[in-house]
Structure 1
Amino acid sequence: MDADSYAEMYRPGTGDLIDERYELTESLGKGGMAHVWRAREASAGREVAVKFLRHDSEALYALDPHERAAELAVRHARFRREATLLGTLDHPGITALYGSGSHRGVPYIAMRLVTGVSLRTFLDEHTPLPPATAIAVAVQVAGALACAHTLPVVHRDLKPPNIMIDDEGAAVLIDFGIAKPLRADATRYTAHGSTLGTRGYLAPEQLLEREPTARTDVYCFGCVFYELLTGRPPFPLGADAGLTERHLYEEPLPPSLYAAGIPEAIDDLVIRMLAKQPGRRPPVDEVLEVLAPLGPQPGDPEPRPRTHPDPTAPLRRPADRTPCAFRAPCEPPATASAAGEEEWLDARAVELLCTRAESEIAAGESGEATGRLRELAERARGEWGERRPLVRRVWRGAADGLRLAGDFGSAARLYQGIDDGLLHGDGPAERAERAVVRLRLAECRLAFGELETAVATVDAAGHTAAGLPRELAIQVESVRHEVDVQLSARFADTNDRGGPGT
Structure 2
Amino acid sequence: MDIGPVIAKRYRIKREIGSGGMGVVWLAHDEHLGRDVALKTMNTPPGLTQDQRTRDAERFRREARAAARLDHTGIATVYDLGEERGTRFLVMQYVTGIDLEDRIAEQEQLSIEEAASIGVQIASVLASVHVRDVVHRDLKGRNVIIRTDGVVKVLDFGVAAFLEPGTARLTTTGERPGSLECMAPEQILGKPIDQRTDLYALGCLLHKMLTGEPVFEHRSELMLPGLILDHPPIPLRDLRPDAPEGLEALVLELLAKTPDDRPPHAGEVWRRLAPWLPERGDPATALTPWAEVDPLRPFRHPMGPEARPVRSWARRPRPGQPS
Give 1:150 deviation, angstroms: 0.9
Give 1:231 deviation, angstroms: 0.7
Change (3 A) 1:241 1:54: closer
Could you list the per-position Cα deviations for residues 344-389 of structure 1 after superposition, in whole angstroms to 9, with x for gaps in the alignment?
xxxxxxxxxxxxxxxxxxxxxxxxxxxxxxxxxxxxxxxxxxxxxx
Q: In the alignment, does 2:3 pair up with 1:11? A: yes
Amino acid across the alignment from 1:292: A
Q: In the alignment, does 2:23 pair up with 1:34? A: yes
Change (3 A) 1:88 1:71: same
Which residue of 160, 176, 185 maps to 1:179?
Answer: 160
Change (3 A) 1:136 1:321: farther
Whole-Å separation in 2 of the counterparts to 1:78 and 1:169: 35
Give 1:69 deviation, angstroms: 7.3
Per the alignment, in what secondary structure is the counterpart of residue 165 of structure 2? coil
Give 1:187 deviation, angstroms: 2.3
Q: In the alignment, does 2:300 pair up with 1:311? A: no
Q: In the alignment, does 2:276 pair up with 1:294? A: yes
Whether the 8 Å contact between 1:41 and 1:47 is mirrored in structure 2 is: yes
Whole-Å separation in 2 of the counterparts to 1:296 and 1:26: 38
Whole-Å separation in 2 of the counterparts to 1:177 and 1:104: 21
Change (3 A) 1:27 1:193: closer
Whole-Å separation in 2 of the counterparts to 1:78 and 1:33: 14
Change (3 A) 1:194 1:71: farther
Change (3 A) 1:54 1:188: closer
Change (3 A) 1:81 1:165: farther
* Structure-1 residue corresponding to 2:99: 118
Give 1:321 deviation, angstroms: 5.5
Per the alignment, in what secondary structure is the counterpart of residue 196 of structure 2? helix
Whether the 8 Å contact between 2:17 and 2:26 is mirrored in structure 1 is: yes
Which residue of 197, 208, 217 maps to 1:216?
Answer: 197
Q: In the alignment, does 2:33 pair up with 1:53? A: no
Whether the 8 Å contact between 1:78 and 1:177 is mirrored in structure 2 is: no
* Structure-2 residue corresponding to 1:169: 150
Give 1:53 deviation, angstroms: 1.6
* Structure-2 residue corresponding to 1:273: 254
Whether the 8 Å contact between 1:95 and 1:172 is mirrored in structure 2 is: yes
Give 1:307 deviation, angstroms: 9.1
Whether the 8 Å contact between 1:162 and 1:173 is mirrored in structure 2 is: yes
Give 1:188 deviation, angstroms: 4.2
Which residue of 89, 113, 119 maps to 2:70?
Answer: 89
Could you list the per-position Cα deviations for residues 271-303 of structure 1 after superposition, in whole angstroms to 9, with x for gaps in the alignment?
11111111111111100111123212321899x
Amino acid across the alignment from 1:154: V
Whole-Å separation in 2 of the counterparts to 1:170 and 1:208: 34
Per the alignment, in what secondary structure is the counterpart of residue 101 of structure 1? strand
Unpaired segments of 5 or more residues in structure 2? 307-323
Unpaired segments of 5 or more residues in structure 1? 1-6, 323-502
Amino acid across the alignment from 2:90: I
Give 1:85 deviation, angstroms: 3.0
Structure with higher helix content: 1
Change (3 A) 1:248 1:69: farther
Whether the 8 Å contact between 1:138 and 1:225 is mirrored in structure 2 is: yes
Whole-Å separation in 2 of the counterparts to 1:287 and 1:80: 33
Which residue of 2, 9, 34 maps to 1:20?
Answer: 9
Whether the 8 Å contact between 1:160 and 1:224 is mirrored in structure 2 is: yes
Amino acid across the alignment from 1:158: L
Whole-Å separation in 1 of the counterparts to 2:116 and 2:219: 26
Give 1:92 deviation, angstroms: 0.9
Give 1:191 deviation, angstroms: 4.8
* Structure-1 residue corresponding to 2:217: 236
Change (3 A) 1:192 1:35: closer
Whether the 8 Å contact between 2:78 and 2:92 is mirrored in structure 1 is: yes
Larger radius of gyration: 1
* Structure-2 residue corresponding to 1:138: 119
Whole-Å separation in 1 of the counterparts to 2:203 and 2:51: 34
Whether the 8 Å contact between 2:159 and 2:171 is mirrored in structure 1 is: no
Whether the 8 Å contact between 2:63 and 2:169 is mirrored in structure 1 is: no
Could you list the per-position Cα deviations for residues 462-488 of structure 1 after superposition, in whole angstroms to 9, with x for gaps in the alignment?
xxxxxxxxxxxxxxxxxxxxxxxxxxx
* Structure-2 residue corresponding to 1:198: 179
RCO higher in structure (CA 8 A, sep ≥6): 2
Whether the 8 Å contact between 1:82 and 1:176 is mirrored in structure 2 is: no
Per the alignment, in what secondary structure is the counterpart of residue 164 of structure 1? strand
Give 1:102 deviation, angstroms: 1.7
TM-score, normalized by length of structure 2? 0.83
How large is the RMSD of aligned CA atoms in angstroms? 2.7
Structure with higher strand content: 2
Whole-Å separation in 1 of the counterparts to 2:58 and 2:218: 32
Whole-Å separation in 2 of the counterparts to 1:175 and 1:35: 11
* Structure-1 residue corresponding to 2:133: 152
Whether the 8 Å contact between 2:203 and 2:255 is mirrored in structure 1 is: yes
Which residue of 228, 233, 243 maps to 1:247?
Answer: 228
Whole-Å separation in 1 of the counterparts to 2:279 and 2:79: 32
Could you list the per-position Cα deviations for residues 130-152 of structure 1 after superposition, in whole angstroms to 9, with x for gaps in the alignment?
11111111111111111110101
Give 1:33 deviation, angstroms: 2.1
Give 1:311 deviation, angstroms: 1.4
Count the aligned residue pairs. Answer: 300
Identity within the alignment, %? 35
